[in-house]
Amino acid sequence: MNSISTLPLSMVRQAGDLVFISGQLSLEGGKIVGDDIVAQTDRALDGLAVQLTSVGLDFSDVVKTNVWITSKANFAGFNTTYAARFTAPYPARSTVISDLVLDGALVEIDAVAQLRP
């Protein structure tokens, strides 16, 4: 597989008043870090925060997330960690159990945010 830095994708794209953020993983130096769902979710959300900040937004601007986790057994740990970062009204969310492309990855999170007027 190509390294993360050479994949044909944009980390952030704006379309009108919406901002689309590519899937965030628990990455450090292009490698998955963290050996449990809580650590990996926290790190993926840190990445999401960095991307939001790069366009002047924060978690309160997120209107939709898509989440992939590799095991149903990890849902509770993921959900508790995720819930600690967002406040009501929460973003709409889809959560799917799936393999992920990078070995060792337990969670991937992408997001759609709305620019402030």
Dist CA 2 CA 114 (whole Å): 31
pLDDT digits (tens, 9 = 90+) for 81-114: 999 999 999 999 999 999 999 999 999 999 999 9
CATH number at residue 79: 3.30.1330.40
The stretch 58-75 carries a mean pLDDT of 98
Q: Provide the CB-side half-sphere exposure for 58 (13 A, CA).
A: 4
Number of domains in the chain: 1
The whole domain housing 95 covers 7-114
Dist CA 111 CA 59 (whole Å): 10
| 1 assigned to some structural domain | no
What residues pair up with 15 in beta bridges, in sequence order? 18
| 54 assigned to some structural domain | yes
| 26 assigned to some structural domain | yes
Taking only Cα atoms into account, the Rg of the chain, rounded to an integer number of angstroms, comes to: 14
pLDDT digits (tens, 9 = 90+) for 32-56: 999 999 999 999 999 999 999 999 9
pLDDT digits (tens, 9 = 90+) for 12-34: 999 999 999 999 999 998 899 99
| 2 assigned to some structural domain | no
Q: Give the SS3 label for residue 10.
A: coil
